């Protein structure tokens, strides 16, 4: 197998976690923004199987990403040099091409970008550092392109060859030129002198200042504001590295509270949340090193996750990967049960939010009981909570998992009766659970009956196809097909026909019948297109045109599908429809359409 094919496989297997480990959460977030803003241009594959592109940043940069010894590497003409946001954007653009099955062309050996990267060295970047001082340069990852390959820049060797006096002079020079270096050196000095309180106070102040302003993004003009929490993260890491885990945990609580308020105010694509989350990752690493007892650590994380509704606590996974004792889970479960018994809703909270928060607490109790070996308490707890919060789905899932199927079915019927008016979504989930049970039993007539009810309630090509799959297994599709089309045309319910082959589902639903206008022409057209029946496509299309019906979205979308569907049999009609769609679009481009 060729090297390029092997590398392509490696690229395609990349996960979001892999990219975060490679570039860091902050750079990954920025790279995602660059990709989303379509800043990557002229993506191509190199002769070695890597990928290369232009990326528009403060200026146009050439960026190459490749694999070396199974590890992802990159080089860019930007000041950052390697593993930068431009490289992340290029990888995401490549993965997008793969997903959409768009072929990536080959770069020639004379590609201008390769020549630019070949000539890059640290002196070229030196002049641009001030433009991107907010991004940290990782000297261990610096690469240069030499003789067609990416090779490391030996900064470590250079530094090791300097005398003490030369290194002092270098650090003094850097601290004068770059405020971030000066601040980092000051933090190190404070830690070496034991001035921990000063650093903690500085971090606390910075959290307050950063969280006071919401993040935002305007996609029209590509402007926005993302709070830069990198210094907070660096200081938390320094505190932890110097044995001050308790201070990191205390700051983490303040950071979470302030971060939640900030994300609630923000209007961006998650960049603000990513900044805060990257700092909280350090807090979760600090917890096992803190003086908190194992139970207190577990409760700290649970409280954080209960409070967090914005996935800021993603880093908690690293904490839970460490094995906790069953005896500790036993204490945690009891503590949480005490809270549940005293649970009081927040003043002014609606019933949905109240049930949501109570259910989240109960989920943690269930986890605690299971980890503590107290499984016999789980189902009784779920039964009590179902009556309080309407969490019948959780109860049914738990009963099914325990193979108590008869009880599960009883609770399904009870749950549907209780929730169908106030929480129809829960009733639908319970009905789906009953259908899944019939599928396990291979009772295809009942399954087809459920799918037919779904179709009648929400007619669409999707529900029609689900109904077809089930009815074919039940060997009843011809009758079901004819009755379904008759319903779409006239509104006549199939169950009213004495020859209807499907049984009752056994679910009694007390809800208003769907109010619809018949014939449902859009659905009939979609089905006729799917079944490749051009005569029926035109029949319903012409009827809709005569009635001047437009039911959904942009009318031209379905018109374009109609033209494609009839083109082979009725080319003149297809051309006329395409012409009509084009004329509508031309009309939208007239200058008057853009006048205020």
Q: What DSSP character marks residue 106?
A: B
How high is the pLDDT of residue 147? 52
**β pairing state of 60-68 and 216-218:** unpaired
* Phi, psi at 527, each rounded to 5°: -65, -45
Strand partners for 150: 145
The set of residues, in sequence order, having a beta carbon less than 8 Å from that of 26 and lying 6+ positions away, is 229, 230, 274, 275, 278
The predicted structure's pLDDT at residue 119: 63
Q: Which two tokens stand for residue 189?
A: 């000095």
Give the burial string for 420-436 (b: 16+ CB within 10 Å, else e).
Answer: beebeebbbbbbebbbe
d(CA 378, CA 326): 16
**Contact by Cβ (8 Å): 502, 452:** yes
DSSP 513: P
- Smallest CA-to-CA distance from 50 within 152, 150, 153 is with 150
Residue 54 sits at φ, ψ, to 5 deg, of -90, 140
Phi and psi at 60, nearest 5°, equal -85, 125
Pairing of strands 143-146, 149-152: antiparallel
Helix residue ranges, H only, 404-460 = 405-419, 424-440, 444-457
| Cα 419 off chain centre by | 30
How far apart are the two ends of the chain, measured CA to CA in Å?
60
Tokens representing 507? 């679910």
194: alpha, beta or left, given left = phi > 0 and alpha = psi -120 to 50? left
Please name which of 471, 488, 475 lies closest in space to residue 543, comparing C-alpha atoms: 488
Give the C-alpha separation, 220 to 37, whole Å. Answer: 10
H or E, element range at 397: helix 392-401
Please report where in the chains the tokens 């829960």 appear, as a residue: 426
Q: Report CA-CA distances (Å) from 424 to 43, 286, 407, 430, 509.
A: 48, 44, 22, 10, 10
Q: Which of 142, 130, 222 is nearest to 180 (CA)?
A: 130
pLDDT tens track, the chain, 596 positions: 355 556 777 888 887 778 888 888 778 878 888 888 888 999 999 888 899 999 987 678 899 999 887 888 888 888 776 778 899 999 999 998 888 888 889 988 888 888 888 766 544 444 444 444 444 444 444 555 555 555 555 677 888 888 988 888 888 888 787 777 777 777 777 777 668 999 999 999 999 999 999 999 876 766 788 899 989 999 999 999 999 999 999 999 999 999 999 999 999 878 899 899 999 999 999 999 999 999 999 999 999 999 999 989 988 988 999 999 999 999 999 999 999 999 987 766 677 788 999 999 999 999 999 999 999 999 999 999 999 999 999 999 999 999 999 999 999 999 999 999 889 999 999 999 999 999 999 999 999 999 999 999 999 999 999 999 999 999 999 999 999 999 999 999 998 889 999 999 999 876 665 678 899 999 999 999 999 999 999 999 999 887 755 544 445 558 889 999 999 999 999 999 999 888 877 776 655 544 44
Dihedral sign computed on CA atoms, order 571, 575, 580, 584: positive
C-alpha atoms less than 13 angstroms from C-alpha of 485 in its C-beta half-sphere: 14
């Amino acid at each position: 197998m060729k090297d390029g094919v092997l590398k392509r496989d490696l690229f395609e297997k990349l996960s979001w976690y892999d990219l975060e480990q490679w570039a860091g959460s902050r750079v990954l977030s920025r790279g995602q923004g660059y990709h989303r803003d379509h800043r990557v241009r002229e993506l191509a594959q190199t002769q070695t199987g890597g990928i290369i592109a232009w990326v528009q940043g403060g200026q146009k940069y050439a960026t190459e990403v490749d694999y070396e010894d199974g590890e992802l590497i990159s080089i860019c003409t930007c000041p950052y040099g390697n593993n930068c946001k431009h490289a992340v954007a290029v990888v995401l653009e490549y993965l997008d091409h793969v997903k959409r099955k768009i072929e990536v062309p080959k770069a020639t050996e004379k590609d201008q970008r390769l020549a630019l990267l070949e000539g890059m060295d640290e002196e070229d970047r030196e002049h641009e550092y001030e433009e991107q001082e907010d991004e940290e340069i990782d000297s261990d990852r610096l690469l240069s392109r030499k003789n067609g390959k990416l090779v490391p820049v030996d900064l470590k060797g250079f530094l090791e060859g300097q005398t003490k006096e030369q290194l002092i002079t270098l650090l003094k020079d850097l601290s004068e030129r770059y405020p971030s270096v000066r601040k980092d050196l000051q933090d190190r000095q404070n830690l070496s002198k034991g001035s921990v309180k000063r650093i903690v106070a500085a971090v606390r102040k910075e959290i307050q200042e950063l969280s006071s302003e919401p993040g935002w993004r305007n996609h029209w003009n590509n402007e926005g504001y993302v709070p830069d929490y990198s210094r907070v993260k660096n200081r938390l890491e320094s505190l932890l590295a110097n044995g001050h885990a308790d201070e990191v945990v205390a700051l983490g609580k303040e950071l979470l509270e302030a971060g939640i308020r900030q994300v609630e105010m923000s209007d961006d694509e998650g960049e603000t949340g990513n900044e805060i989350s990257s700092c909280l990752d350090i807090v979760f690493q600090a917890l096992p090193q803190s003086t908190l007892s194992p139970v207190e650590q577990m409760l700290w994380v649970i409280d954080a996750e209960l409070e967090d509704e914005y996935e800021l606590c993603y880093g908690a996974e690293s904490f839970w990967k460490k094995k906790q004792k069953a005896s500790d889970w036993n204490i945690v479960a009891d503590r949480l049960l005490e809270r549940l018994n005293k649970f009081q809703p927040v003043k002014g909270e609606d019933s949905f939010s109240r049930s949501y928060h109570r259910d989240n607490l109960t989920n943690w109790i269930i986890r605690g009981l299971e980890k503590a070996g107290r499984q016999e308490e789980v189902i009784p707890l779920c039964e009590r909570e179902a009556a309080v919060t309407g969490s019948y789905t959780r109860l049914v899932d738990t009963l099914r998992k325990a193979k108590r199927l008869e009880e599960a079915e009883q609770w399904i019927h009870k749950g549907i009766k209780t929730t169908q008016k106030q929480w129809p979504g829960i009733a639908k989930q319970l009905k789906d659970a009953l259908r899944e049970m019939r599928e396990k039993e291979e009772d295809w007539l009942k399954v087809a009956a459920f799918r037919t009810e779904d179709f009648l309630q929400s007619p669409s090509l999707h529900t029609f196809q689900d109904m077809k799959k089930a009815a074919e297994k039940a060997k009843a599709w011809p009758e079901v097909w004819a009755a379904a089309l008759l319903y779409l045309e006239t509104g006549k319910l199939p169950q009213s026909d004495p020859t209807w082959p499907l049984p009752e589902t056994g679910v009694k639903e007390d809800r208003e019948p769907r109010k619809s206008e018949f014939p449902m022409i859009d659905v009939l057209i979609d089905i006729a297109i799917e079944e490749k029946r051009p005569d029926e496509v035109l029949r319903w299309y012409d009827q809709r045109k005569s009635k001047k019906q437009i039911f959904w979205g942009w009318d031209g979308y379905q018109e374009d599908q109609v033209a494609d569907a009839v083109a082979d049999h009725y080319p003149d009609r297809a051309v006329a429809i395409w012409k009509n769609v084009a004329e509508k679009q031309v009309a939208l481009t007239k200058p008057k359409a853009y006048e205020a």
